[in-house]
Structure 1
Amino acid sequence: MEQHEQRMSVRLVVVDPDLSAQCDRVEKHLLAPLAGSPRVTDDHGLFADSLDAFLRIRETLAAAVARGPRVWTPNGRWEHEGLRILTLPTAETDVLYALLRELSGALVAPRDLPDPSGLAAALHGGVLSAAEPAVGLVGALARVLSMVDLTPDADADTLFAAVEAADGEDVRLTYAQEEAWQRLAHRVTMLLTESAPLHRFL
């Protein structure tokens, strides 16, 4: 049997209750309804593939949470939200980015244009929950992707190295690493909530 090698991406993720809440919204109120709706044409399997990819990413996140490690402040008195190193096939994030482009395009498309796939109609009513505006759900998908595919910077690299060096054991940050954590926490909070951090991670 011929095997195709998957491209893998190793990345740092901050595992936070708000991330889990965003994942729940995306799965239950956006991806599952689109994948299961007969009113939306899915000739290329994008919606079904996206739901499958999203579920696999959630499984990987859950396994990483269970695996550890715990991350402590320099004085050892306070535990931070979980820092995890994940290995994900790039194909899984690629298909979700493709879906995000489709959804974003459908949201801004003029209402009087033809809608052969039925996607624009689904987003503007009839398939998704009326309690969850489509623009908010698409935004939630974008935030989840930004979290599991966090753009590297010096702070993320510093914390990645600390977690990797611990090799699964608990991590007690140095003061320099703690400063990197605080900056990363601010950035992550802005990504997740689109609001001021309010020192949630302190």
Structure 2
Amino acid sequence: MHVNTPLKVHYYGTPVVLVSTRDVEGRANLSPMSSAWWLGGSAMLGIGNKSQTAKNLREQGECVLNLAPSDLAESVDRLADLTAVDPVPPTKAAKGYRHEADKFGAAGLTEQAAELVAPPRVLECPVQLECRVVDSHPFNATCTAFEVEVLRSHVDERMLVPGTAYVDPDAWDPLIMKFCEYYGEGRHLRPSRLAANWRMPHQHLAAQ
């Protein structure tokens, strides 16, 4: 039976994207997000206004969308409570966030030079999309929807249907963020710092 309930979170299950950007001084930033969708050769990214990623996108207009596979859940979780913003905004500090200038190092991930944009790619991600910002749209009081154009796609050849430019869905197992929890391979993968910091009422947290 359906019940009428005002849900506090709408994170039904979306792929995790590691968004790499650079600031005005050329420093690389890496941020996990799961509010992204694609249509044709464009993507829409929903990002909090106070984040370093939003600032970099506004000022530099470039990014790389690195799609994380399920086996990178641990690396992504290392980034979950880190921010490049210094000092840490009070709202994030209250949720346990701390400042970290070297996000790649903290996550144990490798910078790989892009070809058309300044931000680096993530070597460990099998799908890397070099993008430029073409527009931005205010989205409620705290977020912005950034519209980006995919300039170049890099895909691990083992994921392609042989002889085509299509990704083989059987070869691609994306890391999925579902209500702040990590899923892949059809199962819950590991405890989530994000879910714990946001005090999500999940059985996974009660069992820890």
For normalisation by structure 2, the TM-score amounts to: 0.27
| Structure with the larger RCO, 1 or 2 (CA within 8 Å, 6+ apart) | 1
Name the structure with the higher helix share.
1
Name the structure with the higher strand share.
2
Q: Max radius of gyration: which structure?
A: 1
